[in-house]
Amino acid sequence: MATKDEKVNKLIFSGLDPNEKIEKLKEMSASEISQTSDETLLRIYEECRENRDRFYIKSNRRVGNNWNSEIEFIYEYKGKAWLCLYVQSCSSDSSTCVSYREFMGGDKYYGYCRNIDKSFSYTNEERIEVIRCILMEYVYYTYFDKGERERKKRLAEISVPMKKVLNHYWNVHHMDIAYMHFPKEYHRYCDAKKAMCDYADKHLDELYGKPNEELESIYKKIFNDTF
C-alpha cells in the first residue's frame, strides 16, 4: 500500500494532465499534504531551480499566515530543504529562513526575523497551505509557465545589442548630466528606450536569430526616430 508521501509524489511527478494535478492537490487533505517529505521538496528544488540556488514561488501565488508573512522560495542547505519566509512589520520588511523540518515540527511554528525585530507564527492549517502552495508551484512551473520562461530568455538574448545601443547614446548625449540639468532631453532618451523595448517585445519572433549587427541597426533607427 502506498504511503501518503508516495501518493503526493505519484501525483505531482506523474504524467497526469497538469490541470488534473492542480485540482487533486487542491482536494488533498491536510494529513496527506503534511506527509510531504524533505526529499520531495529537494527534488522539486533540483528540477526547478535551473541556474539559481533557489526555487521562487511566483508572487501572485504565494500564501502565508494571513497576517505578516508568506513563503518566498525554497532552497537546499547541507542536504536539507529550507524555506525562506517574507516577514513584514509596521514600517519595514525582510526575510528569514527555516528548515522544512523545523517549520513543520510541533503544533504551530513560531518564528522571529532578526533584521526587523519581528515575531510571527503559523498555525498548522497555514503551514499546510504553504506546503500545498509549493507543490502546486512545481506543477505551474513545470507545465504552465514554461512558455513564459522561454519567451523571457529569448527576449533577454535579443536585448544584448539593445543595451549596447543605449550605452552608446547615453555617453554621446551625456545623459548623466542631462538627468540632473536637462530633464526634457533625459525624458526623450527614456521614451526612445521604451520604444525599443516595446518593439522587441512585439516583434520577438521576427527578431530572434538575427545577427547582433542587424539588431543594433534596427535599434539605432528606432532610437533616432524617437529621440
At how many degrees (to 10) do helices 18-27 and 4-12 cross? 150
126 shares its domain with 209:
no
pLDDT tens profile 166-199: 999 999 988 888 888 888 889 999 999 999 999 9
* Ordered alpha helix ranges (H), the chain: 4-12, 18-27, 30-34, 38-48, 100-104, 124-139, 146-158, 160-172, 175-181, 183-202, 204-207, 212-226
**47 and 117 inside one domain:** yes
What's the rounded Cα separation, in Å, for the pair 19 and 194?
A: 37
CA distance 59 to 86: 11
What pLDDT, on the 0 to 100 scale, is given for residue 1? 42
- At which of 118, 144, 170 does a domain end? 144
Domain hosting 182: range is 149-226
Cell 529550507 belongs to residue? 82
Mean pLDDT of all residues in 122-127: 98
Which of 59, 50, 51, 28 is closest to 131 using CA atoms? 28
Residues 64 and 174 in one domain: no
Supply the pTM of this predicted model: 0.79
